[in-house]
Amino acid sequence: MNRNTTAVELAGIWTDFGDRAVHRGIDLRVPGGQKLALVGGSGSGKTTLLRIMLGLLAPQQGTARLFGRELETLSDDDQQAIRNRCGVLFQGGALFTDLNIYDNIALPLRELDALDEDTIAELVCMKLLMVRLDERVGSLMPFELSGGMVKRAALARALALEPELLFLDEPTSGLDPLAAENFVDVINRLHRDLRFTMVMVTHDVHSLHDLCDQVAVLADGELVAHGPIDQVIESEHSFVHHFFRGGRSRPISGAGAP
Ligand SMILES: Nc1ncnc2c1ncn2[C@@H]1O[C@H](COP(=O)(O)OP(=O)(O)OP(=O)(O)O)[C@@H](O)[C@H]1O
Ligand SMILES: [Mg+2]
């Protein structure tokens, strides 16, 4: 996608759960090809915002558009056709535990109801190689894989339909630093080859720095900072300051390292 197109557009998003407003008027545009990191404290509403972007949840107020279309106004089939242009890696990996890795990756391909099993087999094998998993991994069950392999298998499934837009929710959480670095390498290489737009939720400041070109920070229901990383790092908002320059994260270069 080129940068003149808009992959995601949120306008005035307001989301209440009971008497708690999780989003209080969020505006955000993600141009084609951008790699955006969405950060914020636990419970700040990041996963909920991804669900709104995908039209899986309707906000109380505001509009969400994917590829220029307001999903709420479309038929179920038209919504699905737009969602098929997106790959999603849900928080926690979200593989089906009762399907082996092959069948997990084949699932979105089979749901298209347009491909024969030989073609599906070729595509599954290709996706496994893309995320640096041996094709023999296909016959294993999710519980037989390490955490890093589960993440890569889930990424292979998210890539099954060759998405223009990839949503990653905490893709490196629970991985040791080396596995996280490997995962970042895989995504960077895939982005170089496939040029998808990416929206990634993360707490991992290093993955963010290595993977994304823009950051949006969600705090108190609002985007309190949004822009290129070097600019956002300079924000004096307390959450931004803590996230990039304090707390448990090792400071990144240019982020006030002692
Ligand atoms: N379907 C729902 N019904 C009621 N409350 C919900 C629902 N979905 C989310 N919430 C609440 O909204 C808030 C934001 O949740 P969300 O999962 O978006 O946070 P998050 O920023 O992704 O957090 P984390 O970093 O821990 O994953 C939480 O307080 C959560 O309990
Ligand atoms: Mg979440």
Look at residue 254 and tell me whether its pLDDT is greater than 80. no
Mutate to test the pocket of ligand 1, among 48, 56, 202, 243 (most ligand atoms within 8 A of CB): 48
Give the position, in ligand 1's atom list, of the atom nearest the Cα of 48. 18
Structure tokens that stand for 86 in this block: 């997106």
Closest atom of ligand 1 to 51 CA is: 18
Across 189-208, average pLDDT: 91
Encode pLDDT of 130-174 as tens digits: 999 999 999 999 999 988 899 899 999 999 989 999 999 998 888
Same domain assignment for residues 256 and 172:
yes
Same-domain check for residues 37 and 57? yes
Last residue of a domain, one of 158, 189, 206: 158
Residues whose CB is less than 8 angstroms from the CB of residue 80 and which lie 6 or more positions away in sequence, other chains included: none
Counted domains in the chain? 2
Question: Mean per-residue pLDDT for 82-106?
Answer: 91
| 38 and 147 belong to one structural domain | no
Question: Within 6 Å (CB) of ligand 1, which residues are found?
Answer: 17, 22, 40, 42-48, 91
Measuring CA to CA, which residue among 167, 31, 169 is closest to residue 91? 169
DSSP H helix total and E strand total for the chain: 9, 10
The ligand placed nearest to the CA atom of residue 18 is 1
Burial class of residue 26 (count of CB atoms within 10 Å of its CB; 0-12, 13-18, 19+):
buried
Instruction: State the SS3 of 150-210.
Output: HHHHHHHHHCCCCCCEEEEECCCCCCCHHHHHHHHHHHHHHHHHHCCEEEEECCCHHHHHH
Mean pLDDT to the nearest integer, 108-129: 93
pLDDT bucket at 70, cuts 50 / 70 / 90: very high
Confidence band for 224, pLDDT divided at 50, 70 and 90: very high
pLDDT tens column, 235-244: 989 999 888 8
Which of the pair, 173 or 98, is modelled with greater confidence? 98
Instruction: Name the domain boundary from 114, 141, 158.
Output: 158
Same domain, 250 and 213: yes
Q: Tell me, yes or no, whether 171 and 233 share the same domain.
A: yes
Check: CB of residue 6 under 8 Å from CB of residue 32: yes
229 Cβ partners below 8 Å, 6+ apart? Answer: 37, 208, 209, 212, 213, 214, 215
Q: Are residues 145 and 185 in the same domain?
A: no
Q: Same domain for 174 and 251?
A: yes
Provide the residue range defining the domain that includes 119: 96-158
Evaluated on CA atoms 80, 85, 86, 87, the torsion sign reads positive
pTM value is 0.90
Same domain, 169 and 240: yes
Last residue of a domain, one of 109, 129, 158: 158
Residues 223 and 203 reside in one and the same domain: yes
Determine the distance separating the centroid of ligand 1 and the alpha carbon of 53, expressed in angstroms: 15
91 lies in some domain: no
**φ and ψ at residue 88, rounded to 5 degrees:** -130, 125
Q: Looking at the CA of 49, which ligand is closest?
A: 1
Check whether residue 234 and residue 202 sit in a common domain: yes
